[in-house]
Amino acid sequence: MKTILRFEFDQQLFYPEYQGNRNIILEDPSHVPNTGDAVDLEIGEFFEDLRVVEAFQELTEGQLLIAERLNTRYTRDHVEILVVLYREDVFKTQFPHLSGQLSA
C-alpha cells in the first residue's frame, strides 16, 4: 500500500498568473506530522518559481510552520493524508486549545 502525504498552505503563496503546483506531494514519507508539529521545508526543492520561493520566505520569516493533520483518505491501494501548514501565530489564533502542545 502506498502512502501519499499532501501539504497545503493556509496562506496564499501563489500569484494570480502562477501556473504550477500549489501543494507539495510526497510518496511514502518516512514521517507524517501530527497536528501541532513544526514543519520545516526546503521550499526551493519543491518550487522553482522565484516569486513563490520569495513569498514563502517572507511568510515564514521569524515563524515556524505548524501542521494540522486535516484528513486521511483510504482506498484499496493507498492512503492519502492531507496536512495544512499554518504560520505559528495563525495556528495559535485558530487553535488556541492546541497551542500549548506545540512540538518543535
- Biggest alpha carbon–alpha carbon distance for the chain: 42
* pTM: predicted TM-score of the whole model, two decimal places: 0.88
In this prediction, residue 101 carries a pLDDT of 58
Contact 103, 33 (CB under 8 A): no
Q: Within 13 Å of residue 64, how many CA atoms lie on the same side as its CB?
A: 14
Distance CA 73, CA 20 (A): 24
Distance CA 50, CA 52 (A): 5
Backbone angles phi, psi at 58, to 5 degrees: -65, -40
Let me know the angle formed at the C-alpha of 47 by 27 and 68, rounded to the nearest 5 degrees: 55
pLDDT at 17 over 70: yes
Mean pLDDT for all residues in the chain: 92
